[in-house]
Every structure is written in C-alpha cells, then in structure tokens.
C-alpha cells in the first residue's frame, strides 16, 4: 500500500527544512536559492491546483 502525505503536511515539512537550511546558510547564492525554494513551497497548493485544473480541461 502506497502512503501519500497530504499536501499541507508536505508543504509544512518542506518549509521547516528550508527554514532550517536558511538559518545555517552562509553563502549568499545558497541563501538566494533557498529563499526561492521557500517561496515555491509557499505557492505549492496554488501550483498543484493550477496543474490539476489544466489536466481536467
């Protein structure tokens, strides 16, 4: 049986890991990319909903 984590739980876990990485990052390039990833994590439900809408059209 395949376990699928709810989107909200996945988003929260991803955000927590990115926040922890941002707290310890010292390289400016790494910080930039981690912030970009953090924004994508925040937008994850919207991105998934848009993709789902595209597939049903």
Report the predicted TM-score, pTM, of the whole model to 2 decimal places: 0.74
Tens digit of pLDDT for each residue in 22-33? 999 999 999 999
Judge whether residue 1 has pLDDT over 60: no
**Packed helices 28-42 and 7-24: angle between N→C axes, nearest 10 degrees:** 160
pLDDT tens digits for range 5-51: 788 898 999 999 999 999 999 999 999 999 999 999 999 888 888 88
Tokens of 33: 């990319």
Task: Give the alpha-carbon dihedral of 33, 38, 41, 42, to 10 degrees.
Answer: -140
């Amino acid at each position: 049986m395949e376990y699928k984590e709810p989107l909200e739980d996945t988003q929260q876990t991803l955000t927590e890991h990115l926040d922890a990485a941002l707290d310890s990052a010292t390289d400016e390039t790494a910080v930039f990319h981690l912030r970009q990833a953090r924004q994508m994590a925040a937008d994850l439900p919207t991105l998934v909903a848009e993709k789902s809408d595209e597939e049903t059209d």
